[in-house]
Amino acid sequence: MKGQQIIQAIESEYLKSDLPKLYVGDTVRVGVVIQEGGKERIQPYEGTIIAMRNGGINETITVRRIFQGVGVERVFLLHSPRVSYINVVRRGKARRAKLYYLRDRVGKATRLKQRFDRPIAKAGK
């Protein structure tokens, strides 16, 4: 187990500590660092978390949104330097770990009930 302790020690330097508590079903606004030419800017991407994977440095969330009538999903590595901030816009009530069934739904059918028992936390920005 000595090797795992070394890996954890190295990874712990890169873990972000200011991330809010995220749950599947939450609507989040993720600030993504975009490079255009020589300039960098932060572009917000807002959508619903439909999946969470892995843990530690490899933790990812899949965020889905509808853009011009087309469903768009992006996978974000939470501890990546490309992710500037993550803000929880609203808490959604989900009874399962993966919300892939939302891919088949359109319009108002994609809405989730809102949860009020979990606080909305803002991180970064």
Tens digit of each residue's pLDDT (9 = 90 or more) over 56-113: 899 999 999 999 989 999 999 999 999 999 999 999 999 999 999 999 998 899 899 9
CATH of 2-110, one of 3.30.1300.10, 2.30.30.790, 3.40.50.300, 1.10.3720.10: 2.30.30.790
pTM: 0.89
15 vs 76: CA distance, rounded Å: 14
Closest CA to 58 of 84, 43, 76, 41: 76
The two three-digit tokens of residue 35, written as one number: 């490079």
